[in-house]
Structure 1
């Protein structure tokens, strides 16, 4: 029988996990003893766009329902939106608490939660340095008390340490060798969100996707929620319900970095038509910011690192960045310590080479 553990012990156990999937599983195993819940969804997010990416772990959630949940989030819901919580002073909120005990003010509650017997939802954005690295949804069914203020604060205390650990997983390099999978995958979704076409490259990329919630399509292809989510986000942007771009970076089962982005097309009449989703190998320029954030380099340290990668001397770096040579040496020393290297060659190899050794040169 599991015993209740404190927040610090929970953080310690979770952050020792070797992968984000196992970290979510560790949290799922132990958190419900401290903050009881009946179902949950744990999602990693792209820190630049705030969109869900892989991995996603669900607990006691019926297959196929996650996509419907996200439709409410993008198109009708106005309470406790994840995009708002990502910028809020406190990135955690309960539906019951936020509505003053009137959850029926929520379209998500009326159309999705209540029909499934859910009484309250506690949401959290896992963020660090102002960037969201994960979303959490905890659900309680009818008959249980709503989530309390103390429980909300308990989850709030988890948010930053868990986000920092999620960010750190980008440091794990891929050991996948080149295998010719460098094409462009294309999927087309109709206005109702149904997949209507997919090319062969898309099918091959989808075979590399890690486990997670998927939807079976009429084409016999299982579409991961994070891929389907880009199509939904593109449509929401086209309808001016969302802003920004429908774009995520993600890792395959082999650790390969991929990028998935979408746009919504218009027909000759001006009406919104299909949403086109593209999956392809991620270029170095897309992956480098994630790795830099994982090593917690400052903006200035990144600038110095980029100069080192170009082969510039300390004096040249000082002149280009308008710093003294002494300051440049201090930055380089700090960078070496953060990355655990002792030379410029090791730095370039660790930060720029080992993550891309399997990429085709054209992707750089």
Structure 2
């Protein structure tokens, strides 16, 4: 099978995957024939912050190693960082190629890869429209050739189709349940990353998390890697190693949206202290942008949609956007087609109501 045919077959399989977990499992089962590797980690990411979220699928790598690997990404490594690949013209890079074979230039290689017998890493950002929806790391052990430029280009050709499919899963509606998680969960992590305190609401939220690599276990609680990573990212920001915010949106086992954000606290003398992680139901304002992106609305269509949601008539929308009423009507027609709705009420319901099931009020 040719390289092109192999890539097209993978893209076809990706397009049929019903969930992000299934998509990663499909890639894990099929990709090795085109780009052989010995271990891998597939991660979904929040497209706004670039931070890992659920699901995460690891092949031939243990949970502890997944957590340690990300510590190097945040606190030690300088080469092929995911945050740099997000903005790079080509979002795929191999460590051997990037270092010119001088692997010891990499902190990650010296401290993590080499002790585990890994000889090269190929990593890619799965991005579409400039936004990262996933990261992948492929590893090869010593004794096998480094990843080639042909293999790197093969992965590059897959990155956008995979990202587009990952983005589309935001359209999936949550399960209807009689019980809804409420309250604000709070977790405190010590300076060494260990869990030192958690309230009851946090325990309940964590019980509803999907399966995935566990970063730490403390107080009888399993902390998924994507939750613990918010604490690590908050510390990295406080140490001025990272920029931005430590914030992700994620889904529970039943598909309901949660938000997880963290900050690093300071002691009275100014030293960095514990990291506080908050988990709570995501407000509709946090969920709607993901759903809009999943339906692939253009920037102008989004502007029109926002004004439709405010109840503005066509003439007023035209005035605010400096468009003709005819052009606004054309945009609304295109928006209806993309979302498969036939009225403004249906549009608002599909984007702002169906994906956010409010808690049931007591009788």
Distance 1:311 1:218 in 2: 49
Moved more, 92-101 or 177-186: 177-186
Residue 232 in structure 1 maps to residue 232 in structure 2: yes
**Alignment partner of 1:318 is 2:318:** yes
Per-residue deviation, 1:71: 0.4
Q: Secondary structure at the match of 2:218?
A: coil
In structure 2, the residue matched to 1:354 is: 354
Deviations 1:38-73 (A, max 9, x none): 000000000000000001000000231111100000
Please tell me whether residue 242 in structure 1 is matched to residue 242 in structure 2: yes
Shift of 1:319: 2.2
Matches of 2:46 and 2:250 in 1, distance apart?
8
Partner of 1:18: 18
> Does the 8 Å CA contact 2:194/2:216 hold for their aligned counterparts?
no
CA offset at residue 322 of structure 1?
2.3
1:140 to 2:151 alignment: no
Does the Cα contact within 8 Å between 2:191 and 2:274 map onto a contact in 1?
yes
Shift of 1:325: 0.8
Q: TM-score normalised to the size of structure 1?
A: 0.96
- Is 1:294 aligned to residue 283 of structure 2? no
**Structure 2 residue 174 is matched with structure 1 residue 174:** yes
Whether 1:63 aligns to 2:63 is yes
Contact 1:184 1:280 in 2 (8 A): yes
TM-score of the pair, normalised by structure 2: 0.96
Cα drift, residue 14 of structure 1: 1.4
**Distance in 1 separating the partners of 2:186 and 2:178:** 21
Task: Check conservation: 1:5, 1:30, Cα contact below 8 A.
Answer: no
Q: Give 1:83's aligned residue.
A: 83
How many residue pairs are counted as aligned between the two chains? 358
Segments of structure 1 that go 5 or more residues without pairing to the other structure are none
User: Residue 155 of structure 1 corresponds to which residue in structure 2?
Assistant: 155
- Contact between 2:216 and 2:224, CA under 8 Å: does it hold in 1? no
Give the Cα separation in 2 of the matches to 1:359 and 1:148: 52
| 1:29 paired to 2:29 | yes
**Counterpart-to-counterpart distance in 2, 1:236 and 1:322:** 43
Equivalent residue number for residue 194 of structure 2: 194
Give the match's secondary structure for 2:247: strand
Q: Is the 8 A contact 1:41 1:56 kept in 2?
A: yes
